[in-house]
Structure 1
Amino acid sequence: MHKGKRNSITDVPGVTVGHVTLNEKINEEESVCTGVTAILPHAGNWFEQKVPAASFVLNGFGKTAGLVQVDELGVLESPIMLTNTFSVAAVLQGTLDYMLAENPAIGDSTSSLNLVVGECNDSYLNSMRRMAVEPGHAAQAIQSASADFAQGAVGAGKGMICYGVKGGIGSSSRIAEYEDQQFTAGVLALTNFGRKEEIAIANWQAEQSPEKRPDGSVIIIVATDAPLDSRQLKRLSKRAAIGIGRTGTHIHNGSGDIIIAFSTAYTVAHRQQSPFTETRVLRDDHELMAQLFQGVIEATEEAIYQSLFRAATTVGRMGRIVEKGKFL
């Protein structure tokens, strides 16, 4: 399948991504090596104009916030925020502060707010107990979001490890086409999973760590401009699991493997006088749906590899070094 112009999730019109990267050596034993990544579904008011969404939990060893309501109501009403495990609370607080400032009615004259925050454990390189991520970093990541964004050891991916080498943020996209119709499926991956002997890349060299590392996690964000409802987006999110598997992982016990999917094709108004909502969605049995399934699989696989190819050798806590992977 064809790739989008940027070969990233931001090939889906309106989607932007921002990072805040924290990298500081505190002393000989402790280092801050972490960050925040924000995925914005559109440039408008996310609470007032929600987008259809769904999630799929491949393995639930994770500490995400907000997915229960996403699956219950089928909409996303905030940016998707990514960070390390111990910083979910700070990022949630910072995103809440940002959105309350933008929406005075929330929690007053209208309903509360559902925020979505995903995480991976970066404690091998990052002194996670210091909880260096502050609420203000969430707002900074949101405000820095753009269509052109860095990949690799940046943002939430700064301290992540994948298949024994440096992981982090990766992205890719594919185009589904039929006659005069064209839709984009874009994927962003936060990679922190897999053992070095599992990777499906031939002649790929990864270091053998003398220390046991956590099983890790992967968060996959799928975006599309195809008109899909939440049920169809859950179907799409399940295909991303195949893309993860293509890279070689066995999905270990301690790995949180979570996929969140949303569509920008239409929005769901927070307030509406009519008791009915009408939406136009793609047929499940149409060729375009089959192409979207394939596109998500391919883009997920490539996004994971991009997180490796674009990473950089990183020094973290206890003087630990995680090398960038390379071909033999």
Structure 2
Amino acid sequence: MNAHHATPTGKRRARGLGLRFEGRPGRWNAITDVPGVAVGYATLIAGQGPLVPGRGPVRTGVTAILPRPVEEVQAPVFAGFHSFNGNGEMTGSHYIAEAGKFALPVTITNTHSCGLARDATIRWAVRRFAGRFDEDFALPVAAETYDGFLNDINGFHVTEEHVFAAIDGAAAGPVEEGSVGGGTGMKCFGFKAGSGTASRCVAYGGQDYTVGAFVQANFGARGDLTVLGRRIGTAFDDLAVRRVTPERGASSIIAVLATDAPFLPHQLRRIAQRATVGVARMGGFGRHGSGDIFLAFSTANAAIMGGAAEALLGARWVPDEDIDPFFEAAAQGVEEAILNSMIASGEMEGRDGNFIPALPHDRLRALLAPAG
């Protein structure tokens, strides 16, 4: 099946509904179109009925994104981040702001498992790279969005073993989307959502580069929903979220942007900012309770860490004056990744009977048909 139209398990993607997007996607239309980048999941779904803390129901998981092949993942990448609305967490961000780089897998999970995911990533690295961290520190990136509407979030069901499984299972190629990994218990614009990805190719200097986007989407009110420029959320008012347990508006989106184009840290911070445009195109505007935090990294310039001897290092980068096509690619990729996360997700019932409907494909297509 065409990877642009369906996930590896056959779930529809936005292009599989005939929706048309700007820009040229990569082979898989995924963050893994960036060579060396891999994605892995651990998905936890168990139980139903009333919430019993520590027992469930469980609707959660963890996602791992490896910026380099596993044998090289301890080597840092240049990076930048942007907090559009800071009601959330992304560990390692202070170091990225200071040094412009990070190393090791990126993990994304639920809000109350973020610290565990960070610590487990360090434990994984200490075991995987014997001696590497005997006299050095690790500050990996771990991020979160809130899934307590469906999940027993205070049951702490994500364990070290789940983090290890997500990292060890990370692979290149087509990426599963929807209610998987850290996105298992998430919702977006009042519809089931979760993990989504997309990519764009950018020609520069006689070479094709890729900008890949991955999102854990958990933001937006139903009336905000905008698809391909059309504000259509209220057309689905009959498809209600069932709130047996009251919710206080917690929401968030984490976006990770990867590229093989050479950029410096200040440029990657600027690219991360353009994820905001993708969120805005979908109707998001950074509600008070939303943790909208975005990371961008480049796999180019591999040798960016000093050695035992003093030596000057060199780097290549796209001039700032030529960066606009990469800005556009970042915005386009995040927009499509968010929509993929929704279209690939089915309805889900969680704790206490709380229920989130799926975005109906046929009705979405019919609403957009007049605009082509």
TM bin, normalised by shorter chain, reads over 0.9
CA distance in structure 2 between the aligned counterparts of 1:256 and 1:319, rounded to whole angstroms: 26
- 2: CA distance between counterparts of 1:213 and 1:195? 12
Q: Find the residue that maps to 1:112 and give its secondary structure.
A: coil
Is 2:97 the counterpart of 1:97? no
The question of whether the paired residues in 2 share the 8 Å contact of 1:94 and 1:137 is answered with no
- What does the per-residue CA deviation read over 1:120-161, in whole Å, with 9 as the maximum and x for residues that have no partner? 000000010000000111110001111232100000000001
Residue 218 of structure 1 is aligned with which of 253, 261, 266? 253
Three-state SS of the structure 1 residue aligned to 2:300 is coil
Letter in 2 for 1:282: V
Query: TM-score normalised to the size of structure 2?
Result: 0.84
CA distance in 2, matches of 1:59, 1:80: 20
Q: How does 1:180-195 map to 2 (within 5 A)?
A: 180-195=206-221
Which amino acid is the alignment partner of residue 37 of structure 2?
V
1:129 maps to a residue whose letter is: N
- The 5 Å alignment of 1:96-245 reads 96-108=122-134, 110-147=135-172, 148-178=174-204, 180-201=206-227, 202=230, 203=232, 205=236, 207-209=239-241, 210=243, 211-245=246-280
The answer to whether 1:266 aligns with 2:279 is no
Kept after mapping to 2: 8 A contact 1:90/1:135: yes
SS in 1 for 2:32: helix
User: 1:18, 1:107 → 2: CA distance?
Assistant: 24
Is residue 63 from structure 1 mapped to residue 63 from structure 2 by the alignment? no
* Unmatched runs of 5 consecutive residues or more in structure 2: 1-22, 365-372
Q: Percent identity, please.
A: 33
Count residues in correspondence. Answer: 324
1:316 is aligned to 350
Mapped contact 1:183–1:225 kept (Cα < 8 A): yes
Q: Is the 8 A contact 1:196 1:208 kept in 2?
A: no
* SS of equivalent to 1:22: strand
Specify whether residues 187 and 275 from structure 1 end up closer, same or farther in structure 2 by C-alpha distance, changes over 3 A only: same
What per-residue deviation string (whole Å, max 9, x for no partner) do you get for residues 231-268 of structure 1?
11011111111111110012111100000000011224
Question: Within 2, Cα distance between the matches of 1:271 and 1:99?
Answer: 20
How well do the aligned residues superpose, as a CA RMSD in angstroms?
Answer: 1.6
Q: Corresponding residue for 2:7?
A: none
Quote the Cα distance in structure 2 between the aligned partners of 1:271 and 1:277: 8
The residue that corresponds to 2:330 in the other structure is: 296
User: Partner residue of 2:6?
Assistant: none
Q: Which residue of 2 aligns with 1:77?
A: 103
Please name the residue that 1:246 is paired with: 281
Q: Distance in 2 between matches of 1:107 and 1:50?
A: 14
Amino acid corresponding to residue 357 of structure 2 in structure 1: E
Residues 237 and 36 of structure 1, relative CA distance in 2, 3 Å threshold: same
Question: SS where residue 76 of structure 2 aligns?
Answer: strand
Q: CA deviation at 1:66?
A: 1.1
Q: Report the 3-state secondary structure (helix = DSSP H, G, I; strand = E; otherwise coil) of the residue aligned with 1:318.
A: coil
More displaced 10-residue stretch of structure 1: 63-72 or 268-277:
268-277
Counterpart amino acid of residue 188 in structure 1: F
- TM-score under structure 1 length normalisation: 0.94
Q: Which amino acid aligns with 2:275?
A: A
Alignment-derived partner of residue 18 in structure 2:
none
CA separation in 2, counterparts of 1:130 and 1:15? 32
Q: Measured at CA, do residues 107 and 15 of structure 1 come closer, stay the same or move farther in structure 2, by a change above 3 Å?
A: closer
Q: Equivalents in 1 of 2:203, 2:63: separation in Å? A: 30
Where 2:96 maps in the other structure, the secondary structure is: helix
Deviation of 1:57 after TM superposition, in Å, equals 0.5
Q: Which residue of structure 2 lines up, in the alignment, with residue 255 of structure 1?
A: 290
- The corresponding residue for 2:72 is 45
Deviation at 1:271, TM superposition (A): 4.3
For the 8 Å contact 2:86–2:292, the answer to whether it is kept is yes
The separation in 2 between residues aligned to 1:212 and 1:87, in whole angstroms, is: 19
Q: Distance in 2 between matches of 1:231 and 1:178?
A: 19
Separation of aligned partners in 1, 2:99 and 2:149: 37
